Structure 1
Amino acid sequence: MSTEGRSAEPSSAPAASVLESAGFVHIVARADGDALAASGLLARALRERDTPYQVSVGRTVADRTARVRDREPAADDATIGVGAVDADITSLETADRPATLAALDLVRDLDATPDPVLALAGLVAADVEPGAGESEWLLESARERGLVDRRPGLAVPTADPVDGLAHSTRLHAPWSGDPDATRDALAGLDIDLEAPETYDGDDHRAIGSAVALDVIGDDDAAPVAAETIQRALRPYATPDHGFATVGGYADVLEATARTEPGTGAALAMGHDAHEPALAAWRADGRDAHAALEGASTGRYDGLFVLGIDDGPVDAVARMAVAFRSPEPSVLAVGNGEAAVATRGDERLGATVEAVAREFEDVGIPDVAYDGGRRRGYLRYDADVDESTIIATVREVL
């Protein structure tokens, strides 16, 4: 049974000393942008040390645990968990810090040089503002090296504004998911949409202002949308990087972690995976916006519920809580899977585990789960009625 036993406590052995003596390292990561960035930082450090490694991405605690238990490690192998794993391994999972920050500490303990842009993207994926708190040194280092530069506009991964805005899940407007509708929405601006290489600050500012007005003015937008869209404005541009902004890079990491984890892991490790990663991001964005627009909705005390026929429940829940939900928590229910998102700062791991146990108590089969900061994921038998899922989640949340 996938929810038997809580995730093991992290090993007491310092992670750096474990890795320094390892002949091979298996990194087992949670399927989100923060964990993917953390895995990439660690993998690059191991490559600097000529230590062989493998990165695996698991959607649930059970998936990651199976990956660990299915291997027969050699005596000098080490396994690092980036996310909860029900096994006695060294873990970067913490209750109050993004995995990216823990990975940065570990990389520096190994005397390796972390990629600041990847690390900043991981923090954005973890809902941390670049430069906030412990990441101040990281942002300053990136700025001093000319790797990032704050400018007007929006946090999208591509220089092409139509492509970037249509597929981004960091915003939701009436035209989101549809490149032709996005182009029409920008057509009234005195900007050549075919020549983004010529844009100056005023051009980026005009696009940002127009998009913000469309997001806030959407008839279905919740009041929180006005606050949320601010976090996508004035991005940190990355002039010499494969992605146009830090926030856009984070969006790609999130999309690939969910839909094409092999591509996402390769991207985070520094391999040439930009084009397949962008293709996965576009497909995920189209599906997520279409699912959100076509979702049925229900409102309960503290919980906004969306029922979708098809689409990425994680992205739908995340966008809904950021732009559509009148309640602080969202449950997106799909075909045999569901996602929870909240506007609070708490980690949802324990909450989602409790929901999974309740599912099993009421006879729902094949339950698996995962949880991170502000987000949780559940997988179960597709024949279970949606009303049962909603009632069980409401009992725990």
Structure 2
Amino acid sequence: MATEGRSAPSSSATTALESAGFVRLIARADGDAIAASALLARALADRDTPYQITVGRTIAERTTRVHAPTADGDATVVVGTVDATADDEPIRLSATDRPAVLEAVDLVRDLGATPDPVLALAGVVAAGGDPGAGESEWLVERALERGLVDRRPGVAVPTADPIDGLAHSTRLRAPWSGNPEATREALADVAADPDALEADDRRAIGSLVALDTVGADAASDAAAATIGRALRPYATPEAPVATLGGFADVLTALARTEPGTATALALGHDVRDRALEGWREHGRRAHAALAAASLERYDGLVVVGVDDAPVETIARLAVDYRSPEPTVLAINEGHGPSSNRTQSDDGDDEAAIATREDDSLGAALEGIARELADAGPETDADGGVAYDVGHRRGYLRYDPGLDDETVVTTVRDLL
């Protein structure tokens, strides 16, 4: 049975890490967890403690890595939910009511290290939070004092060129999203010279983006609130990307497609060009798939059928900008060897759930996975079904023998 919301007491976690000869960091596949792992890794590096970061897409993957043999004196930190363990209990950063990166900040400070406020705030944004709100207020204050961030007009994108940033961003959904030429045409009157933008130019860009986003024919009521969180960004002049929101966007995209690159970026390695190219490709695929997607509405749920797309990003974009219902299930369509469907690396099918509601999806996702395992081919102990859960999101990986109708019905019944 999966366990969540249980983190190791700070004192015991600190003691374990202070005495560890080697630390394994096992992260959930999202931007928040990547940022949290990198913050801890930097603190360990300051202490000359060797470490390794790996990313597990599902609870089962992370649990398997927890159970891998270790040497005496080694420590394991898991950022995300894992199955209950009887022996060798890892240090858990798995609370569901706050970003994992804030748990990591607490642990880093207990170790006597200073957390990077920009990376920490990027993790907060990746978790769906607002930088400077609640527990993150002091991080913004610290970053402002050190000149690491600067609030300015405009939109939160990773690149200095607003056309490039807006065209590929998955923090917004406008009629021109995913198409650089269409974006350039839409911004022609407000971004004639992207290399020489003044505050008024950025303000005009933000206004145009907001109007195009909210005014799109398919925009939902939720679009106004969502795009509002992407406006007036914190610029990050010393970071490898242009804004906090852009940093979060890149980490979130790469956590699922190129976790090694996402981790390297969070650790401060020189992978900016590679990271941005992976982020662009992710944005292109997501927006193209959503434009061609089929949508089916139920009471409380919208099902988005896509083909060859990053399902978690599709679900989030749909719930933020397109869905009249509070929850979205993004699922591949079609069956058979000739279909170009969304699949994991091992050939299983994938689906994702995103919600605007605050309730945890953990119990529901576990129940859905069990029902699908019972309904699917008996290929192994778990019925060929694995899942993961994060803040307002869920992920499912299942045997291709399960038909879409079974997945949709199960999700509708148990959410």
TM over 0.5: yes
**Superposed, which structure 2 residues align to 1:226-241 within 5 Å?**
226-241=224-239
CA contact (8 A) 2:240 2:272 kept: yes
**Superposed, which structure 2 residues align to 1:244-255 within 5 Å?**
244-255=242-253
Shift of 1:128: 0.9
CA shift digits 1:2-37 (9 cap, x unpaired): xxx323865567211110000000000000011000
Paired position in structure 1 for 2:282: 284
Paired position in structure 1 for 2:121: 120
| Matched letter for residue 373 of structure 1 | H
2:229 aligns to what SS in structure 1? helix
* Consecutive unaligned residues in structure 1, runs of 5 or more: none
Q: 1:77 aligns with which of 59, 74, 77?
A: 74
Shift of 1:346: 2.5
Q: Which moved more, 1:341-350 or 1:158-167?
A: 341-350
Paired position in structure 1 for 2:336: none
2:190 aligns to what SS in structure 1? coil
Paired position in structure 2 for 1:6: 2
1:154 aligns to what SS in structure 2? coil
- Aligned-pair identity (%): 63
| Matched letter for residue 360 of structure 2 | R
Count of aligned pairs between the two proteins = 389
Counterparts of 2:139 and 2:298 in 1: how far apart (Å)?
41
**Superposed, which structure 2 residues align to 1:318-333 within 5 Å?**
318-333=316-331
| Matched letter for residue 374 of structure 2 | D
Counterparts of 1:349 and 1:262 in 2: how far apart (Å)?
26
CA contact (8 A) 1:191 1:203 kept: no
CA contact (8 A) 2:375 2:402 kept: no
CA RMSD of aligned residues (A): 1.3
Paired position in structure 1 for 2:398: 380
Counterparts of 1:201 and 1:189 in 2: how far apart (Å)?
11
CA contact (8 A) 2:156 2:245 kept: yes
Higher relative contact order (CA 8 A, sep 6+): 1
Counterparts of 1:347 and 1:139 in 2: how far apart (Å)?
27
Counterparts of 1:207 and 1:10 in 2: how far apart (Å)?
42
Q: 1:62 aligns with which of 56, 60, 63?
A: 60
Paired position in structure 1 for 2:362: 349
Paired position in structure 1 for 2:372: 359
| Matched letter for residue 6 of structure 1 | A
Shift of 1:241: 1.8
1:37 aligns to what SS in structure 2? helix
CA contact (8 A) 1:337 1:382 kept: no
| Matched letter for residue 352 of structure 2 | A
CA contact (8 A) 2:376 2:401 kept: no
The answer to whether residue 328 in structure 2 is matched with residue 337 in structure 1 is no
- Poorly superposed stretches of 4+, deviation over 4 Å: 8-13
Counterparts of 2:122 and 2:30 in 1: how far apart (Å)?
12
Q: Which moved more, 1:50-59 or 1:375-384?
A: 375-384
Shift of 1:103: 0.1
Task: Give the TM-score taking structure 1 as reference length.
Answer: 0.95
| Matched letter for residue 174 of structure 1 | P
**Superposed, which structure 2 residues align to 1:32-181 within 5 Å?**
32-69=30-67, 71-86=68-83, 87=85, 88-181=89-182
1:14 aligns to what SS in structure 2? helix
CA shift digits 1:83-137 (9 cap, x unpaired): 0122331111113121001000000000011111000000000111111111111
Counterparts of 2:32 and 2:359 in 1: how far apart (Å)?
16
Q: Which moved more, 1:206-215 or 1:28-37?
A: 206-215
